[in-house]
A and B are shown apart, each in its own frame.
Chain A
Amino acid sequence: MKRTVSRAAIIRALLRKELVSYARDTVYLALTLAVLIAAPLLFRAMPDRVEEDLVLAVSPPVDRLLEGSAEALRALGASEADVARIREADLAKQEGLLLVEFDDEVKMRQAIDGTLQVWRTRDGKLAFVDTAAGEKRPKGTKRVDVQVGVAFPERFLADLALGKRGLAVTVYTHASAPPELRQAVTSFVREAAFEVAGEALPVQFPDEKDVVVGVDRLGDQVSLREKMRPMLLFVVLMMETFSMASLVSTEVLERTVTAVLVTPAKASDFIAAKTIFGTLVSFTQALIVLALIGGVTQENWSLMLAVLVMGAVMFTGIALLVGAAGKDFMGQLFYAMLFTVPMLIPAFAALFPGSVAPWVRILPTFPIIDVLVKATVYGGGWRESAGSLAYAAVWLAVLYGAGVVALKRKVASL
């Protein structure tokens, strides 16, 4: 009696088997759960705003500097215009500057070396906590990292306004602070001193708007959390490569694929089921993580779905390649690392945009991460991503095709 079975029924049976095999393997499950838990936690742990202010410690407080200087100036016969000019140079009101004022230089040094902690409330008030004395952090505050401070003489501004030369100013920097910071603060103090002394710098700066290239994100800088979003989505897609490659190589090493291929199922059914399952698992995880970390808007949802599907298929192709290549567990691990580590490099482009070498753009995963960054960080749409999507499609075809060919050859050789 002739018995017929449809391709759809065969693939359904194979998919059920994949699901059972996947769900029963503690390593796969642990890996999946770890990714689903760790990705949102890591995302939340990242700072959600960019610290735009330069934190500068100063001693003595600016008011004291100003008060002393105004009286001294008047006593020395300075005009009200001179006094007004000094007040206008109020350092505390400089844009992009968070001034942390200390009564004495010793406390400022303690703040810089960390023994005296500085905390800021939501309304901008500062609180000082002496950890050595057992004091505790006030609730609802955020740590202010003081890395640099300037100690002025008590009559600094008065003496400066009167044209006194040889005034000593001490700039303190923490050991971990970059040397550029010390340079910047020194320049800043010098510039402020020029202002107060009434001697403008002999250079001209054009209007700020004229020199901003590209989208001006002043006040709306990309936070590390935002930068992490595409990277996390990418890593979630990539992590499934290990599980899928393992599922494939287990079938090859234990010859279960041979048992399948003597039934009406064909190698193409076997590969189709692996592809569908790998893509679904990878894509679903990415969707869950996306739901937890946000990033989908009414404008970008279709683009996001498309690029995540492309990424999932691409990594499934890599998994087929790795699964077919590895002759044992160590071999599989070797090939998995060989393929996935280079693929991870473009993800760092999202975190450190300026540090990526041009060759990274050639890597197959670059267009995927590029679209993710454009869509989630810069609000890019289909038009902005078209080139990258086309490039990703080419790599997808190459990698998936290579995976299918490698696995077919492997199966035929068993």
Chain B
Amino acid sequence: MSEAHEPAIAVKDLRFSYGEIEAVKGISFEVMPGEILGFLGPNGAGKSTTIKMLIGLLPPQGGTATVLGTDVALDDPGLQARIGVCFEEKNLYLNMTARENLEFFAALYGVKDADVEGALRRVGLADRANDRVKTFSKGMRQRMMIARAFINRPDVLFLDEPTDGLDPVTAAAIRATIKEEAERGAAVLLTTHDMFEADELSDRVAFMNEGRIVALDTPENLKLKHGTRAVRVRLRDKEGVREEVLPLGDGEATARLAELAASPDLLTIHTEEATLEQIFIALTGRGLAG
């Protein structure tokens, strides 16, 4: 593992074009060991191309990118052995069992004593270890993808929509697993369309649009920067339900909030901070899903 004070992923002015189309236009960012960076943006923003360069599937055409201190352009197998990738498409060997899939990838990574049972138990598939993957449901295949990404205890994880297709309970379990990996010291680059997931997991988020990073900060800072420091209070009155918006940090408003909080007519209190989706729309003029 790289030293804790050195970035696990360091990208500087990275560029890539498909012919005339400039997919990545000189982006720069860093991910520290143990940090989870949410990588957000609509389809076609350049996220996948960036990740392909970082995992060695595409050679950068400009700028530099190092993972664990190694230039990704060197195509170093030693580096590949230390990363884990969870693709959005569930590219598992369907005719092989869950155990065979993990043993195969462990062998490719050079892991001699891979804890296949433990990996399967971690994603709730221990009892299906000897079943062929083609008999698995979409959610089970997704869990297999996670188990495969973790099989070599990677120092850097690239996770593309890791909870896609999972029920809320399983998704929560997978998120907990991702957090454990980060706590262990792995740097995580997380791509997701799920704003709740990005918000819950990410230490920082990077918004990418049209090949550029348009914002990069912690979710809290982004919300503060782009949202309103206020609370919206809903009350029952004679005419039905009414709302009041009270700015935070204001003496009068604080007193009024205390008064309303004690009132039997109080229904709900919500903060007025912006969601990541709203921030992205504000920055780019379009939604994340598009």
Contact = CB atoms under 8 A, between A and B. Distances in A.
Given A9-B110, A20-B95, A256-B92, A261 B57 contact: yes
Interface in B212-234: none
A24 B107 contact: no
27 contacts: A2-B82, A3-B78, A3-B110, A3-B111, A12-B107, A13-B108, A14-B108, A21-B95, A24-B132, A255-B91, A256-B92, A256-B93, A258-B57, A258-B91, A259-B91, A259-B105, A260-B108, A261-B56, A262-B55, A262-B80, A262-B85, A263-B80, A263-B105, A264-B80, A264-B108, A265-B80, A414-B57
Nearest to A26: B95
Contact of A262 (B1, B56, B78, B111): B56
Contacts of A17: 93, 96, 104
A259 B55 CA distance: 10
A3 B82 contact: yes
Contacts of B91: 254-256, 258-259
A239 interface: no
A413 to B, nearest CB: 10
B89 interface: yes
A4 B110 contact: yes
Question: In the complex, which of the residues B94, B108, B152 has the most CB atoms of chain A within 10 Å of its own CB atom?
Answer: B108
A27 to B, nearest CB: 11
B78 A264 contact: yes
Given A262-B56, A265-B108, 12 more contacts: A9-B107, A10-B107, A13-B104, A24-B132, A255-B87, A255-B89, A256-B91, A256-B93, A258-B87, A264-B77, A264-B81, A266-B77
A16 interface: yes
Nearest to A259: B91
A290 to B, nearest CB: 30
Nearest to B75: A266
A88 interface: no
A264 B94 contact: no
B104 A5 contact: no
B110 A264 contact: yes
Contact of B109 (A3, A24, A261, A266): A3
Which of A10, A260, A262, A266 is the most central at the interface, judged by chain B CB atoms within 10 Å of its CB? A262
Nearest to A16: B104
Nearest to B148: A259
Given A3-B78, A264-B110, A21 B56 contact: no
B100 interface: yes
B1 A263 contact: no
Nearest to B95: A24
A21 B81 contact: no
A1 interface: yes
Contacts of A260: 108
B14 interface: no
Interface string B134-177: 00000000000000100010000000000000000000000000
Nearest to B68: A2
B83 interface: yes
A25 interface: yes
Interface in A181-199: none
**What 6 A-B pairs have minimum CB-CB distances, sorted nearest first?**
A5-B110, A264-B77, A13-B107, A263-B108, A24-B95, A255-B91
A12 B104 CA distance: 10
Interface in A217-274: 254-256, 258-266
Given A3-B78, A5-B81, A263-B81, A254 B94 contact: yes
Q: What bracket does the count of chain B residues touching chain A fall in?
A: 20 to 34
A20 B82 CA distance: 26
B100 A20 contact: yes
B142 to A, nearest CB: 14
Contacts of A5: 77, 81, 108-110
B104 A21 contact: no
Nearest to A25: B95
Interface in B3-57: 55-57
A99 to B, nearest CB: 64
Nearest to A12: B107
Nearest to B86: A259
A266 B82 CA distance: 15
A243 to B, nearest CB: 13
Interface string B56-98: 1100000000000000000101101111010101011111100
Interface string B105-130: 10111110000000000000000000
Contacts of A266: 75, 77
Contacts of B85: 259, 262
A3 B79 CA distance: 8
Contacts of A12: 107
A4 B108 contact: no
Contacts of A261: 56-57
A31 to B, nearest CB: 16
Contacts of A24: 95-96, 132
Contacts of A13: 104, 107-108
A263 B93 CA distance: 15
Nearest to B107: A13
Nearest to B76: A264
Contacts of B93: 17, 20-21, 256
A21 B96 contact: yes
A20 B94 contact: no
A9 B107 CA distance: 8
Interface in A358-392: none
Nearest to B77: A264
B149 to A, nearest CB: 10
Contacts of B96: 17, 20-21, 24
B272 to A, nearest CB: 43
Question: Which of A10, A13, A21, A263 lies at the interface centre, i.e. has the most chain B CB atoms within 10 A of its CB?
Answer: A263
A20 B93 CA distance: 10
Contacts of A258: 57, 87, 91
A1 B85 CA distance: 18
Nearest to B97: A20
A255 B89 CA distance: 8
B132 A3 contact: no
Contacts of B78: 2-4, 264
Question: Which of A2, A264, A414 is the most central at the interface, judged by chain B CB atoms within 10 Å of its CB?
Answer: A264
